[in-house]
């Protein structure tokens, strides 16, 4: 019980941003949906990313098996939604996770990563699937220019 609580605390500490569902579009009669969430960058005030992803319905899960996994596909668009104030962000080439959510029971997650392009004064946001094995090439990218915001 203590280990489970500790693991949950570590996972929540590693994922600072929370998503707020702002839309849900039904795509077929078996309950599959496209979910749209707004994610505020926790270390960059004034930037909001909108992430859209596919969410399998119960009928689809029952008829096709693979009960505990959703597709890796995602789309992202990030924009300035207020005055930009950059906090203590990771400025390394591999950046840092802004948001992460599970796409399967334990083996796959959808992540939004922020990378700072210092030369071009731009924040780059990458939505991608991270899998334990067989990584996915399904990704989406969005940028936010920093016009004198730094």
Annotate 91-119 with b (16+ C-beta within 10 A) or e (fewer). eeeebebbbbbebbeeebbbbbbbbbeee
Of 76, 91, 90, residue with least CA distance to 129: 76
Name the H helices within 1-150.
2-14, 58-64
Q: What is the pLDDT of residue 105?
A: 61
Reported as a single tens digit per residue, the pLDDT across 46-89 is 999 999 988 877 787 777 777 666 667 889 999 999 999 999 99
Q: Considering the entire predicted model, what is its pTM?
A: 0.77
User: Could you identify the residue written with the tokens 């707020």?
Assistant: 20
Reported as a single tens digit per residue, the pLDDT across 8-27 is 333 334 445 788 999 999 98
* Strand 108-117 with 122-131, pairing: antiparallel
Query: Following CA atoms 41, 55, 139, 144 in sequence, which dihedral angle do they give, to the nearest 10 degrees?
Result: -30
Query: Following CA atoms 96, 78, 85, 148 in sequence, which dihedral angle do they give, to the nearest 10 degrees?
Result: 110
């Amino acid at each position: 019980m203590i280990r489970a609580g500790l693991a949950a605390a570590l996972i929540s500490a590693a994922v600072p941003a929370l998503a707020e569902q702002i839309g849900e579009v039904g795509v077929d009669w078996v309950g599959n949906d496209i979910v749209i969430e707004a994610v505020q960058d926790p270390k960059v005030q004034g930037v909001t990313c909108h992430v859209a992803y596919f969410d399998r319905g119960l009928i689809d899960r029952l008829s096709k098996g693979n009960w505990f996994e959703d597709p890796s596909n995602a789309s992202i668009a990030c924009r300035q939604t207020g005055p930009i104030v950059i906090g203590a962000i990771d400025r390394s080439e591999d950046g840092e996770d802004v948001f992460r959510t599970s796409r399967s029971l334990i083996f796959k997650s959808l992540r939004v990563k922020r990378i700072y392009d210092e030369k071009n004064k731009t924040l780059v946001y990458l939505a991608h699937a991270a899998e334990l094995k067989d990584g996915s090439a399904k990704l989406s990218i969005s940028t936010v220019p920093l016009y004198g915001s730094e």
